[in-house]
Amino acid sequence: MTEYIIRRLLQSSLVLVAMSVLVFAGVYAIGNPIELLVNPMADDAERARVIANLGLDKPLWEQYLTFFKGALTGDLGKSFVFNVPAVGLILQKLPATIELALCAMVIAILFGIPLGLWAGLKPDSIAGKTIMAGSILGFSLPTFWVGLLLIMLFSVQLGWLPSNGRGDTVNVLGFEVSFLTADGLSHLFMPALNLALFKLSLIIRLTRAGTREALLQDYVKFARAKGLRASRVVGVHVLKNIMIPIVTVIGLEFGSVIAFAIVTESIFAWPGTGKLLIDSITSLDRPVIVAYLMIIVTLFIVINLVVDILYSVLDPRVRLGQGAGQGAH
Amino acid sequence: MRPVLEVSGLSTHFFTRAGVVKAVEDVSFALNAGEILGLVGESGSGKSMTGYSIMGLIDPPGKVVAGSIRLKGEELIGYDEARWQKIRGNRIAMIFQDPMMTLNPVLRIDTQMLEAVLAHHDVPREEALRRSREAMVKVGIPSPDERLLAYPHQFSGGMRQRVAIAIALLNKPDVIIADEPTTALDVTIQGQILFEMQKLCRESGTALIWITHDLSVIAGLADKVAVMYAGRIVETGTVDEVLDCSRHPYTRGLMCSVPACNPRGQPLKQIPGMTPSLLSLGAECAFRERCARATAQCDTMPAIGQDAHAVRCHHPLGAPT
């Protein structure tokens, strides 16, 4: 297990290096930040001074090496615009995004799994069909449109919920969080619901499909033949089997919820990293873009590792670190 | 002696979009304590559905539409789910065909055994564990303490089937229904399991219904045989009567298609034609189209007699003419 985790971490660092090269080259290709950063009235000497100051006079490979050396010590460069470390800028915004993403996932899981189970157990009932129809809507309606509709309904028409910002926050372990204050919760509810909608539908469909498949398996019939109560057959025999694919998807989706909360954050003016990224792209603030992507990649790697470890907990046939071909199937 | 299990006139139909599938039709038999009944038939002849009907495990669109199932005199038809749960696994247990599929792959063996005890008996965990260990020893699983902590994938196919049998034995049921439990196993393991099942039934007085399509298994194991064709029992009697002096043309055909009964080099004697679709069963004898002895009389379904060796045929073989 330890050996497995160490090997995974080594592989992950290779992924990080490859990713940093790609991102660096990609960002370099999308325009010259000098045009935005230097006062158009400035003379050539002033211009050259700024370029040299930002290190943009050097060739790309040299810029990358400087970045790489810095990255090894945890320094991903300074923001061109704010002139503060990019990592600090992102970490300052990250708690808001993570809070939003976590709330969205909690909503998706708490409602998705029971609804999916219900739809899977009673596929022909009215409730089951309604759940499935609803999940198709959740899948296909674009996030920004649903977000706008939520604002229209709850903020403009009914005036129940505020349409933007985080509201009052409380400091917990050094992080500002909204969900512990009534005002914060009222600010959090709509963006979290908006972000959760797609994942909710996904989990519903996945749970339903898994349930339908598991119900046909002999082990379910055998469990019933043992005289077990339906609640135990579903709650233990079925649920534990279908959790394996669901955990994978939840893990992967959690990463993407954090990385792509951009649309929701923009609509509800949620002061998270998504909004920071959009601002940085418009001002061609290269270090922030690169640092953001590096942090997101790291996040994905960590989440994937956690999912793999969870697998071995859920599925006894998976034994980490013994190579392939150990499974029963 | 009063039979442990009496099934009479059992009919199970499936109401599908394509029509009513009469999977089990007018099936009757009785079983005494410690007795082994072999239920023989081709795939789709309704033998497994008969087993599921006795377990109360017929799911919609299927339904037991007629008949009675009496367990020690207690009528089971009409029971609701809660009462069936008290019967299943406790007084009637079932073993399935594929041992690779019947144990839940993500639950440990002890979990799967304990829950079977605790579902029916309000005993402490240690007592349930003791019974589980005892059942595992009974079916010949070495070092049960260690094996209880293992997961199904750590067992071979034969061992898994033993675990399934141990689970079936846990609550000392009156009847065990075994649905082709040795089909998926190799011959040596099959032999061991047959031998042990036979021994366990004799010792404990458990009645056994052994569902199979393998006549050689039946010959060595069962006391009584019921041959099913297209949802109905067509011939029933003791093993010797049915296998050695088959009277129904279908049973005779089955016996002749066993390769060992044919001289080497000769083409196997097959039964011509195919099993009829259970959707389109009419009033005539279901075997009529494939039967060399069929006459105009076979337009009506023959009744099955009440004798010990009964046959559902207008023109049984070996009949005094």
Residues A307 and A231 in one domain: yes
Q: In Å, how far is A251's CA from the nearest CA of chain B?
A: 20
Question: Does any domain span residue A265?
Answer: yes
Using CA atoms, how far apart are residues A191 and A270, in angstroms rounded to an integer? 8
- pLDDT higher than threshold 50 for residue A134: yes
**CATH classification at residue A166:** 1.10.3720.10
Evaluate if residue A93 carries a pLDDT over 90.
Answer: no
When CB atoms are compared, the residue of B93, B115, B153 closest to A225 is B93
User: Across the strands, what pairs with A88?
Assistant: none
Whether cis (ω within 30° of 0) applies to the bond prior to A85 is: no
The predicted pLDDT at position A324 comes to 41
Instruction: Tell me: do A15 and A108 sit in the same domain.
Output: no
Instruction: Please say which residue of A72, A101, A124 terminates a domain.
Output: A72
Q: Is residue A329 part of a domain?
A: no
Query: Is the pLDDT at A328 greater than 70, yes or no?
Result: no
What's chain A's length in residues? 329
Give B243 or A208, the one with higher predicted confidence: A208
Same domain? For A60 and A171 the reply is no
Q: Which of B62, B22, B65 is nearest to B45 (CA)?
A: B22
Query: Smallest Cβ distance to A316: which of B98, B102, B151?
Result: B151
List the single range of B59-68, B91-100, B285-294 with lowest mean pLDDT: B285-294
CB B252 within 8 Å of CB B317: yes
Are both A151 and A41 inside the same structural domain?
A: no
- A324, part of any domain: no
Q: Phi/psi class of residue A55: alpha, beta or left (left: φ > 0; alpha: ψ in -120 to 50)?
A: left
Supply the pLDDT for residue A110.
Answer: 92
pLDDT of B89: 87
Q: Are A183 and A243 within one domain?
A: yes
Whether A327 and chain B come into contact, CB under 8 Å, resolves to yes
Residue A105 lies in a domain: yes
Residues B43-70, mean pLDDT to the nearest whole number: 88
A227 vs B85, B102, B106: nearest CB: B85
The pLDDT of residue B177 is 92
User: Do A55 and A126 lie in a common domain?
Assistant: no
**Whether residues A68 and A100 fall in one domain:** no
| Chain A interface test: which of B85, B115, B117 (most A C-beta within 10 Å) | B115
Pick the last residue of a domain from A46, A72, A98: A72
DSSP state of B303: P
In this structure, what DSSP letter does residue B305 have? -
CA end-to-end distance (rounded Å), chain A = 22
A225 vs B: CB within 8 A = yes
Residue A327: predicted pLDDT: 39
Residues A58 and A146 in one domain: no
Across all residues in chain A, what is the average pLDDT? 82
Residues A238 and A209 in one domain: yes
* Mean pLDDT score, A210-232: 88
| A137 shares its domain with A281 | yes
* End-of-domain residue from the set A72, A103, A122: A72
Q: How far apart are CA B245 and CA B261, in angstroms?
A: 14
* Average pLDDT rounded to a whole number, residues A218-224: 89
B96 with A314: Cβ contact below 8 A: no
The answer to whether A178 and A192 are in contact (CB under 8 A) is no
pLDDT band at A320 (very low <50, low <70, confident <90, very high): low
Task: Tell which A residues from 169 to 208 touch B, by Cβ distance under 8 Å.
Answer: none
- B78 confidence band (pLDDT: 50, 70, 90): confident
- Residue whose tokens read 């749970």: A207
CA distance B148 to B210: 27
The answer to whether residues A33 and A114 belong to one domain is: no
**Could you tell me the CA-to-CA distances from A2 to A5, A12, B316 in Å, in that order?**
5, 15, 73
Whole-number pLDDT of residue A174: 67
Considering only residues 30 to 69 of chain B, which have any Cβ-Cβ distance to chain A shorter than 8 Å? 55, 57
Residue A270 forms part of a structural domain: yes
Domain ranges of chain B: 5-34+42-91+223-311
Domain count, chain A: 2
Q: Which of A121, A122, A219 to mutate to test the interface with B (most CBs of B within 10 A)?
A: A219
A240 vs B: CB within 8 A: yes
Question: Using one digit for the tens of pLDDT, what is the confidence trace for B2-21?
Answer: 888 989 889 999 998 888 88
Q: Label residue A76 left, alpha or beta by phi (over 0 means left) and psi (-120 to 50 means alpha).
A: alpha
pLDDT-above-90 percentage for chain A: 8
Rounded to the nearest integer, the mean pLDDT of chain B is 85
CATH for the B5-34+42-91+223-311 domain, from 1.25.60.10, 3.40.50.970, 2.170.190.11, 3.40.50.300: 3.40.50.300
A120 versus A75: the higher-pLDDT residue is A120
Q: Domain of A14?
A: 2-72
A227 to chain B, any CB pair closer than 8 A? The answer is yes
* Facing B101 at nearest CB: one of A219, A226, A228: A219
Q: Do A218 and B102 touch (CB under 8 A)?
A: yes
> What's the complex ipTM?
0.85
* A45 plus A96 within the same structural domain: no
How high is the pLDDT of residue B321? 44
